[in-house]
Chain A
Amino acid sequence: MGIRCQGKTIVIALFVICAAAGSAYAGISECTAGCGDLDGDGFATSVDFALLNSCIGEDPQSFATCACADLDGNGAIDLADYAIFMRLFAGVSDEAPPDCTGAPGTLANLTAYRPQHGTAYFPFARTAVPDDWENDEQLGPGIRINNGDADPSGEDDLIEVVLTVDPPGAELTLRKSTSAMTIWTTRNKQPGTNIVFPSTKSVPLPVGPTETSLTLWVEWESAVHGVATLQVEPAFSNVVKDSLTFHTFHGIVLALGGEGQVPTVPVEANSGTFVVGTALYGLGFDVHMYDEDNVSADGSGAVYNETATAIQHRLVDEIAIFGYSHGGGSTYSLADRLDVNRAGLGLFTIGYTSYVDSVRNNSDIDVNQELRRPPSSAYHLNHYQHGSFFEDLGLDGGPVTNSNPPPTGLDVETTPWGANSTHFEVDDYIQVRSLMESTLTPRITR
């Protein structure tokens, strides 16, 4: 935006600076902001009002912000401009100087959703990214790289974005900061349904004359990681109505339930693994939740295939795996297979693993403790209790060398909250779930 030179009381002092800036002010008479938005922040606020006041009576060509103050373009900054500004105050106009009339602008909002799985969102509910996080590069909308993806679960790597508009049928466009993103109006990329971008700005969006919303699907086509913004603007101005900041997923989180536990929507409170997985999904991680039977004793199966695809085609390089009971045994088997097959898979780290009362999973009836640390895990968290036959069939995990809390994990029965725990409730303690979330979050990039 350059140096701003404005305000009667500082004009003389700044004149020297501005004059010294020389050619930097060659384009000073051009106003690129919307009506009433003298400082270019997208809104007509008290700051703009102060700027307008400072420009009253000035030549619109004198300073950049004063060029934006000549709202009606009559060559003078006067009470007519003041009247137009007052109509725009606190609102967002779609017009741009010198043709401001004070007409209220279109309202437009973009809402992004967390990633899909297969043909819809299951095993999660459709989850919107909160407004406050829409432009956060970690908590905001994550997107999977979809370059050459074999998509074993179907075309599920596009991110849903819903545009709502008022009044109905408003003529709006999108602006994107990278050509890596492609925008579609169909989730499975039907021919002819991509939004055309002649430049960084799209053609007008196909919002019907009576329609108040449009569902868009965002795809990251490039084979390179990145961060990019998607903005909605009126067709004939650059006023930003709303924006989203996408980041490509570097990490994948795999949650494996215990024997007989399957992911549900809404999540069952007594399936602690899936409660943690659902919470992490809401926090922006690319979480995949499974019945642990999807990992066979040699680590192969649907979970391995999904992970291999993530590494090879989505350039995911950080992996977290956690599981309860047999899901802990499957955590070991999966980590082992990933580690064995590194030469064919590509570069990745298993940045985080966690067991809760882990039982080996060589078969559905395996009741042996899983005491082996997952191979090549950078950080392993371990929770366990002591089983007794008539309470919980004697099922339990146990200490795992080189785990956290050091040295072998936490025997929850040594804590006030976990005393007399059984195998069937140990995964549900909020203390267990909280420690899992707080230890995973800093170790895996979203």
Chain B
Amino acid sequence: MYARTLGKFVMAALLAAACIAAVPAANDAIQTDLRTIASTEDAGAKQTAWDRIRQADTADRTALLQQLAIFTTTADNERDALLAGTVIREFKIPDDTVVQALVPLLESDDASLKAQVGNMLGGYEDRSADRPPNFSTYRAIIATAVREDRPIPLGLVEHMYTVDPSQALRTMLRASSVHKPASLREILMADHVISEVLWKQRNGFLDENTIEPQAAEELAKLANHDQWWARLYAAAIVQQHPAFRTKALVQRLSGDEHPLVAGFASVPAEAERTSE
């Protein structure tokens, strides 16, 4: 118990340190120019500000993209909110470059910046009602961290599991270099069985409050899995789908040594209405 608590503490401390290092402060000059472009009626001032932003892009594109995210977080009107997208479009910045620049901001301890960046990244995930999001860029980022023995960016992991636990699990499965077929099958089967129940609920074959026993068993297996990101899947499912919530599972997961797992299990999200 002591070890588990200590583990949580160390993990949180490391995470906090990483956040401070990863997130840049607002650059007042760039923020002012962006506001001028968005709101001034003075065409000359607007052109001057635009020219400076173009120079900033040439000097350090990643820094500019991060300043755009910070600017968007403070937006309170449509002009400000959509300026970042306009700049990215006008400068023809490739999608992959935008994602690579924004992902580090997910490690911020500024909740509003994290939420805004999560929203912005959504535009590069090909989200749709009838297909899963595309996390392939994230997989490469995480796989590189694993290969180079650097800390996995937990803010990014949290983002993926919030958006789509199933795709997040598959992404982590590949990025984490699990190669044993039996280990792969165990996780893939659990996800398959649980996803099928969610599909049945969504399409009216199962009541939204009902789950099949096999799905509950598979979820329980993942809730006790050695890999924290497999347990995180269980926590995300429990959080997002009330039918899977049992007192025992919530207790087990909310006391998990990994802060993300414990965090997900402790906060139930609003469930989507599915079947009749």
Q: Which residue of A lies closest to B88 (CB)?
A: A365
Which residues of B in the span 229-276 have a Cβ within 8 Å of any Cβ on A? 270, 272-276
Size category, A interface: 35 or more
Counting CB contacts under 8 A, is A346 at the interface?
A: yes
Which residues of the other chain, B, contact A438 by a CB distance below 8 angstroms?
Answer: none
In this complex, the member of B76, B80, B202 whose beta carbon has the largest number of chain A beta carbons within 10 angstroms is B202
The answer to whether A259 and B81 have CB atoms under 8 Å apart is yes
Counting CB contacts under 8 A, is B204 at the interface?
A: yes
Known A-B contacts A258-B78, A367-B89, A390-B43; A150 and B273 likewise in contact (beta carbons under 8 Å): yes
Instruction: State the Cβ distance, B5 to closest chain A Cβ, in Å.
Output: 36
- Interface flags, A102-120, vs B, CB<8A=1, else 0: 0000000000000000000
Which residues of B in the span 114-128 have a Cβ within 8 Å of any Cβ on A? 116, 119-125, 127-128
Counting CB contacts under 8 A, is A308 at the interface?
A: yes
The answer to whether A297 and B78 have CB atoms under 8 Å apart is no
Which residues of the other chain, A, contact B272 by a CB distance below 8 angstroms?
Answer: 300, 304-305, 308
Please measure, in the bound complex, the distance between the C-alpha atom of A102 and the C-alpha atom of B91, giving whole angstroms: 86
Counting CB contacts under 8 A, is A353 at the interface?
A: no
The answer to whether B77 and A298 have CB atoms under 8 Å apart is no
Counting CB contacts under 8 A, is A405 at the interface?
A: no
Which residues of A in the span 283-312 have a Cβ within 8 Å of any Cβ on B? 293, 296-300, 302, 304-305, 308-309, 312
Selected from A337, A363, A424, the residue in CB contact (under 8 A) with B129 is A337
Interface size on B, residues (CB 8 A): 44
Which residues of the other chain, A, contact B203 by a CB distance below 8 angstroms?
Answer: 341, 343-344
Which residues of B in the span 68-91 have a Cβ within 8 Å of any Cβ on A? 68, 72, 75-86, 88-90
Counting CB contacts under 8 A, is B170 at the interface?
A: no
Counting CB contacts under 8 A, is A154 at the interface?
A: no
The answer to whether A367 and B85 have CB atoms under 8 Å apart is yes
Selected from A259, A261, A336, the residue in CB contact (under 8 A) with B128 is A336
The answer to whether B128 and A298 have CB atoms under 8 Å apart is yes
In this complex, the member of A305, A336, A341 whose beta carbon has the largest number of chain B beta carbons within 10 angstroms is A341
Which residues of the other chain, B, contact A394 by a CB distance below 8 angstroms?
Answer: 86, 89-90
Please measure, in the bound complex, the distance between the C-alpha atom of A260 and the C-alpha atom of B116, giving whole angstroms: 13
Which residues of A in the span 250-298 have a Cβ within 8 Å of any Cβ on B? 258-261, 293, 296-298
The answer to whether A297 and B80 have CB atoms under 8 Å apart is no
Please measure, in the bound complex, the distance between the C-alpha atom of A24 and the C-alpha atom of B116, giving whole angstroms: 77
The answer to whether B83 and A362 have CB atoms under 8 Å apart is no
Known A-B contacts A260-B80, A394-B86, A424-B79; A299 and B129 likewise in contact (beta carbons under 8 Å): yes
Please measure, in the bound complex, the distance between the C-alpha atom of A367 and the C-alpha atom of B77, giving whole angstroms: 15
Instruction: Spell out A's residues near B (CB within 8 Å).
Output: 150, 152, 258-261, 293, 296-300, 302, 304-305, 308-309, 312, 325, 333, 336-337, 339-341, 343-346, 359, 362-367, 389-390, 393-395, 424
Instruction: Spell out B's residues near A (CB within 8 Å).
Output: 38, 43, 46-47, 68, 72, 75-86, 88-90, 116, 119-125, 127-130, 133, 201-204, 270, 272-276
The 9 A-B residue pairs with the shortest CB-CB distance in the complex, in nearest-first order: A363-B123, A365-B85, A308-B273, A367-B85, A297-B127, A337-B129, A344-B204, A362-B123, A343-B203
